Amino acid sequence: MFQDILIPLDGSSRAEKVLPVAARIAQVTDGTISLLQAVWPPSVYMASVGEVVLPDILDETIPAAKIYLEMVAQNSSLENIRTETQVVIGHPAEAIMKAAKADNTDLVIICSHGYTGEMLWSMGSIAGKVARHVSSPIFILYEHSALLAELANASVRPLRVLVPLDGSQHAEAVIPKAAMLAVVLAASSHGELHLTRVVSSRGKEKSRLDEELGRTAHYLRAVVENIRKHGLSDMEALPDLSLTWSITKAEDAASGIIQAAENGGGCQVIAMTAHGQGGHQLWSLGNTTERVLQAARKPLFIVH
């Protein structure tokens, strides 16, 4: 798990901030890191023929991108880690998704605030598009994340990953990979999975709310007990991994998840599936994961 790691870069120092994170994971999993830069063909619009690609400029851009990636591969954080580089031609989001699929990538790690030319990797742009459509697990980090600062200094406090559940097997599918992420990022420290389920009190009588809280507590306890008894797929044991749970009361699921990540000592990472009981229409407007993707400023780990 997490042995083939893809890092999309754009030439900015912001995008490179994910390198210590990828390095920590690759060290533990004996993985390979693939550094990718997409070169978008420069073009001009001519009224007589439409869009025209400028091949001469492209011929200059590709060698420069190769030199840049080779330089990044020499970064001190990647020392003693197998690295590969690839320059591809095409729109960045499409190129990343295509490369991830072709290489059977186990994990894509991307910073949400880098630059591709004048295009900000903001939500709704490169990182957002990749998150919505790439089939591989994706780990989205934010340039001012405390986790990035800790890993850049080769240290991390006990790593706490929040796993929101909704009672469905879809939502629970993230648990094994979230556990692995917690363990490998924690390294010499220890990891913790904190499971939560959001319960809304809106429009409910106290007796009905109490019943739902009771069912939710029973469900979360059962999930934790099942993991402790049977373990997790792809993990022979749960070394240095703690399991905790809590119920989050909030108006809606998305705001409750963000609230849970900040409270109780805080969680460094939120781990979610692309959809739970929201149905098969992935990333539809109002979908919980989509809303967390747009609003959260904690690193977000998404499994489709």
Instruction: Parse the chain into domains and list their residue ranges.
Output: 4-141, 156-298
Q: Which residues contact 68 (CB under 8 A, 6 or more apart)?
A: 9, 11, 37
74-88, 223-237, 282-296 — which one is most confidently predicted on average? 74-88
253 and 288 Cβ atoms separated by less than 8 Å: yes
Half-sphere exposure of 292 (CA within 13 A, CB side): 30
Cβ-based neighbour number of residue 136 at 10 Å: 22
pLDDT over 60 (residue 45): no
Residue 246 has what pLDDT?
93
Taking each continuous run of H as one helix and of E as one strand, the counts in the chain are: 11, 14
Segment 207-231 shows an average pLDDT of: 92
Residue 3: predicted pLDDT: 93
Answer whether CATH 3.40.50.2300 is correct for domain 156-298.
Answer: no
Please count the CA atoms within 13 angstroms of the CA of 80 that sit on its side-chain side. 5
pLDDT of residue 105: 95
Per the CATH hierarchy, to which homologous superfamily does domain 4-141 belong? HUPs (3.40.50.620)
- Summarised one tens digit per residue, pLDDT across range 75-126 is 999 999 999 999 998 888 889 999 999 888 999 999 886 444 444 444 347 8
CATH fold match for the domains 4-141 and 156-298 = yes
Per-residue pLDDT tens digits for 239-274 = 668 899 999 998 888 889 988 888 756 788 999 988
Is pLDDT above 80 for 20?
yes
